[in-house]
Homo-oligomer: A and B are copies of this chain.
Amino acid sequence: MPSVSGTGVPSFDTTTFLDSLKLHPRSHAFTMSTAVRAPGEASSSKALTHSGMNSKLKDMKYAVRGDVPIAAERIQKELDSGTSKRPYTEILACNIGNPHSVGQTPVSWFRQVMALVNCPELSDTANFPEDVKARAKLIRSQVGGGTGAYSHSKGISAFRDNVARFIERRDGYPADPEQIFLCAGASAGIEKVMSALIAGPQDAVLVPIPQYPLYSALITLMGGNMVGYYLDEEKNWGFNLATAKEALAKARADGLNPKGMVVINPGNPTGQVMSQADLTDIVKMCKEEGLLLMSDEVYQENVYVDNKKFVSMKKVVRDLGKDYDDFELVSFHSTSKGLIGECGRRGGFMELCGMDSGVVSEIFKLACMGLCPNLDGQMMTGLMVDPPKEGEPSYKLYHEECSAIYSDLKRKSKIVVDALNDIEGMSCQVAEGAMYAFPKIDLGPGAIKAAEAAGQAPDLFYCLALLEETGICCVPGSGFAQVPGTYHFRTTFLPPADKLEDAMKRFKKFHEDFRAKYN
């Protein structure tokens, strides 16, 4: 258990966290080697053996598609076969922010423009509004060789211009298209920056706890160290400057070399929307302490509470004035989230501010090695940031579709959080934004013992049982990290409202039975 500091938030003990990973090698994710190799199967004759492969990759954990989703895949096959006697007929995938996979429909305008760009012969026959045809024509002129050609490795210049104008409208400050890289989803951008940042085994990056496991995974893969700073659950997963500074000081005392800091706003898995005051504290801290700031803003459109709004880190930095002109910031955005939820496109961008020009060149070289992000994802990014305007023929439908998705997400965030809070032994902060709730569960000592006997982290044990009994697929909190001795899980609120309402009833029943069984 961590010591509780004067800040009201336990300080993050890196050693304890890493030890816990070692104690439960299968608890946080995904070390499948023992599971999939048949007993007695020899592998020593192989040129590439599991023991001889890159240990950083082996050590890497990635929970979002870890043990629970793999079990769900197995159960789905059983359900598909028609031989299942389970009390449910389908898996409810609450493990990943993948809106279209659970019934959200595409916003028409994007698909119309894309179809005309990729297949110009449709222009004559398609019954599309004039602005769709005009936009497709414009894009065809902008992409030069068409969507079948590799583009500039940063992405099509016109799309990067669109992004820059979007950032300017959003923040009220200039943006330079040359400092914008289109990426195959935010993940691909984050990977590039981490690859440049982590130079040696002492290098470290501050990451919120709980965190999106892409960060811990990349830091492990690049051979660096994750230094967690706890968010304050009781203050709706709020940022606590003193806690973060303590974590930083401890990392330095341990001989680590912290070089960067990650912020996820709105939060994943925690759903909070951060205030400009907290963001300002973070920027000041990074400047004082010499940290590169990475701001994950993929949920910037997903704010559901009336008393908060998204403020970009770029705006926070520029609001601080001239002293922060050179401040080093990379911000990430994606086509996968927001209201469009076009995950399969793998579109997104990052904006680099104040970065050493030599470093930018090396990041560009890395982008060149991958040739370019896919053109459909690039196009989707360019469209996302420059949608139909009021008065244009497509505006009405576009606006209606987006509004409906927004209202639905807002309503479902409340359905899920309220239902979870209605379960005894469970407490859930308000999901102010993003696509997730991250409730705390009181498992009781009996369940913890049973989990240990099964060689599983208690929250994994719980989520696997939940899946088996109800078909609801969530991700255990240990995949995101949490205060030791506490247990959480992450659930999306993306499936249709009626299914969520049904699922929450099954959930309540399951939880009561689970508690009764083990305690």
Identical chains in the assembly: 2
Interface size on A, residues (CB 8 A): 109
User: How far apart sit A352 and B122, CA to CA, in the bound complex (Å)?
Assistant: 39
User: How far apart sit A64 and B365, CA to CA, in the bound complex (Å)?
Assistant: 10
| CB <8 Å contact, B365 and A30 | yes
| CB <8 Å contact, B369 and A187 | yes
In the assembled complex, A6 has its CB within 8 A of some CB on chain B: no
In the assembled complex, A100 has its CB within 8 A of some CB on chain B: yes
Q: Which of A54-99 contact B (CB under 8 A)?
A: 54-55, 57-58, 60, 62, 64-66, 96, 98-99
User: How far apart sit A474 and B263, CA to CA, in the bound complex (Å)?
Assistant: 43
For A119, list chain B residues within 8 Å (CB). Answer: 111-112, 114-115
In the assembled complex, A499 has its CB within 8 A of some CB on chain B: no
Segment with Cβ contacts to B, from A15-23, A370-378, A433-441: A370-378
User: How far apart sit A344 and B114, CA to CA, in the bound complex (Å)?
Assistant: 14
User: How far apart sit A127 and B123, CA to CA, in the bound complex (Å)?
Assistant: 11
| CB <8 Å contact, A370 and B196 | no
In the assembled complex, A148 has its CB within 8 A of some CB on chain B: yes
In the assembled complex, A36 has its CB within 8 A of some CB on chain B: yes
Q: Evaluate whether A50 and B148 lie within 8 angstroms (CB atoms) in the complex, with A64-B368, A362-B57 already known.
A: no
| CB <8 Å contact, B149 and A344 | yes
How close is A363's CB to chain B, nearest CB, in angstroms? 8
For A391, list chain B residues within 8 Å (CB). Answer: none
In the assembled complex, A48 has its CB within 8 A of some CB on chain B: yes
How close is A282's CB to chain B, nearest CB, in angstroms? 14
| CB <8 Å contact, B149 and A343 | yes
| CB <8 Å contact, B188 and A369 | no
Interface string of A116-132 (1 = CB under 8 A from B): 00110110011100000
In the assembled complex, A326 has its CB within 8 A of some CB on chain B: yes
Q: Evaluate whether A37 and B346 lie within 8 angstroms (CB atoms) in the complex, with A52-B199, A362-B57, A365-B30 already known.
A: no
How close is A351's CB to chain B, nearest CB, in angstroms? 15
| CB <8 Å contact, B196 and A53 | yes
In the assembled complex, A419 has its CB within 8 A of some CB on chain B: no
Q: Which residues of A contact B (CB under 8 A)?
A: 29-30, 32-38, 41, 43, 45-50, 52-55, 57-58, 60, 62, 64-66, 96, 98-102, 106, 108, 111-112, 114-115, 118-119, 121-122, 125-127, 144-151, 153, 184-185, 187-188, 191, 195-199, 214, 217-218, 221-222, 259-260, 286, 290-292, 326, 328, 336, 340-346, 354-362, 364-366, 368-377
- Listed from nearest, the 8 A-B pairs whose CB atoms lie closest are A33-B358, A50-B358, A101-B145, A344-B375, A32-B361, A100-B149, A115-B119, A346-B374
